[in-house]
Amino acid sequence: MKRPENERSDYTYDYIKLVNDDVMSVLNEQIIGFPSLISTLAGKEDYAYLPGKWTVKEVVQHTLDTERILSYRLLAFARLEKQPLPGFEQSEYALAVNVEGRTLPNLIEEFTCLRKANMFLFNALSVEELERTGVASGIVRSVRKLLFTIAGHLEHHRNILREKYS
């Protein structure tokens, strides 16, 4: 499946360019790779590399929230939703969630379950469904673009976790 090169209209292209054309393999690899990386950060779960930056647990929670939102958008557009979907402010979401009582193993398990469940949807998408579009945050996005954005967003945060938290 080709990356959506012609849909560079917003910030998501920074995520999309992190993913090769075999997005399904990337999404599947992340089921093992992301938890593996997070596991190496045990003992650092409340560490933030600078004041005001997210802790490891907050980064993982953010990836969970974002995957849920982008997957909902993907589903809505694949099912021909005509209503524009709202945006979301990641910083406000991060402030509104309490990760204090969460553990890394719990967050890892949640990610694994969420991604495995999403893969059933992703694998069932037809060529026609992948090209369907909808509006979210005031921008037209295709289902295919959302699929690549989901994979690329996680790659972006994996890179940050490796560079700033390891």
Split at pLDDT 50, 70, 90, the class of 7 is low
Structure confidence by residue, pLDDT tens digits, 55-103: 999 999 999 999 999 999 999 999 999 999 999 999 999 989 999 999 9
C-alpha distance from residue 133 to each of 12, 36, 67, 83 (Å): 15, 34, 18, 11
12-165 CATH, one of 1.20.120.450, 1.10.3720.10, 3.40.50.620, 1.10.287.1260: 1.20.120.450
φ, ψ at 81 (rounded to 5°)? -60, 130
The strand pair at 133-136 and 139-142 is best described as: antiparallel
